[in-house]
Amino acid sequence: MSEVRNILLIGRTGNGKSALANVISGTNKFREIEDSVSETKELELETFGYQGIKYRVIDTVGIGDTKLKSKDVLNKVAKACYEVREGLNQIFFVIGGRITEEELETYNLLKQIIFNEDIYSYTTIVRTRFTDFEDERRCEEDKEKISQENEKLTELIRECNKLIHVDNPPVKGRSATTNKEIREVSRERLLKHLIYDCGNYHPISLDRLNERISSYLTEKVQIKKELEDLKKFQVEEQIKMEAERKRSKFNSILFAPANIFQ
C-alpha cells in the first residue's frame, strides 16, 4: 500500500466539500459548516486506506469565498497540485444542486490555467445533499434536470468521468446514528467509484503554473483597462454627438429665414 492515490476536492463555498472530505477519509479532521462562509483557507490533506489501497484527500479553498481574490484561489489550488506533484488520480467537483455560472467559470479557469482538456477524464461531479441518492431513477431525473440548465453544463456533465449523488448529513443531535449510517453508504458509493475509475493525471509544473497565472492576471487587467477606455470613449463620443446636435439645432434657429418668424 505504498502508492498513494490523490483525490482533489474543488467546489463552491457551502456545497459540503469539507463534509465530503470527512466522509471519504472516514475521519472528522475537516471542519464542516452549514452556511456559505468558507472555513478552508489553506489546503488540508488526510491519508487513509481502503481495501488495500492508500488514498489522500485534498480539500481546497472554496469557490466564491469573498475574502479571497481570483489570484489567491488560483495560487492555493496550484499549491495543492504542487503538494501532490506525483499526480492526481481524481478531481471531485462538488456541487450542492444547481451549478452557478461562477462555478462553471471557475472550473473552466482552472482547466485553462492549471490543467488542460484531459482533466475532464479525471473529474467526477459529486452532487451532495441529495436525500434520494440510493434511488437510481431519482438520480437520473436530477441529472437530467441539472444538465438542462444551460449548454455549458450539459457539455461539462457529458465530458466528465461521472456524476455521483450522495448525502452527507451532519452527525449530531437525535439523528446522529441514522445520519452516520447514511454517510457510510455515501462513502461506499464514492470509494467503489475510485477503485475502478482512478487514472493518473499530472498537472503542469509549478514554475509554468506561476507563469500562466501571472499571464492570465496581466491579460485580465489589460482587458479590463481596454473595456474601461472603450466605455470612456463611448461616453465622450455620446457627449460630443449630443453637443453637436444641440449646436445644429441652435444654428438652425439662429440662421433661419426671417419669414418663419412672421
CA atoms within 13 A on the CB side of 181: 4
How is the beta sheet containing 123-127 ordered, strand by strand?
44-50, 53-59, 4-11, 90-95, 123-127, 162-165
Per-residue confidence (pLDDT) for residue 168, from 0 to 100: 95
Residue 213 CA: distances (Å) to CA of 32, 61, 200: 30, 17, 23
Q: What is the pLDDT of residue 154?
A: 81
CATH number of 4-204: 3.40.50.300
Alpha-carbon separation of residue 42 from 15, 29, 46, 68, 114 (angstroms): 17, 14, 13, 11, 18
User: pLDDT below 70 — which residues of the chain?
Assistant: 1-2, 34-41, 64-71, 85, 113, 202-222, 224, 249-251, 253-262
Distance CA 17, CA 111 (A): 19
Strand pairing partners for 123?
91
Write the burial class of residue 80 (CB in 10 Å: 0-12 exposed, 13-18 middle, 19+ buried).
buried
Nearby residues of 260 by Cβ (< 8 Å), 6 or more positions away: none
Q: State residue 182's pLDDT score.
A: 96
55 three-class SS: strand
Would the pTM of this model clear 0.85, i.e. be above it?
no
Q: DSSP letters along 194-213, please? A: HHHH---B-PPPHHHHHHHH
Supply 159's cell numbers: 465530458
Tens digit of pLDDT for each residue in 224-246?
A: 677 777 777 777 778 878 777 77
In the chain, helix, strand, coil percent, each to 5?
55, 15, 30
Q: Residue 93 belongs to what H/E stretch? A: strand 90-95
**What residue ranges do the domains of the chain occupy?**
4-204, 211-261
Nearest of 71, 15, 55 to residue 38 by alpha carbon: 15
Question: C-alpha dihedral over 201, 202, 203, 205, to 10 degrees?
Answer: 180
pLDDT for position 256: 57
Which 8-state DSSP code applies to residue 245?
H
Model pLDDT, residue 212: 64
Provide the pLDDT for residue 216: 61
Using only the alpha carbons of the chain, give its radius of gyration: 26
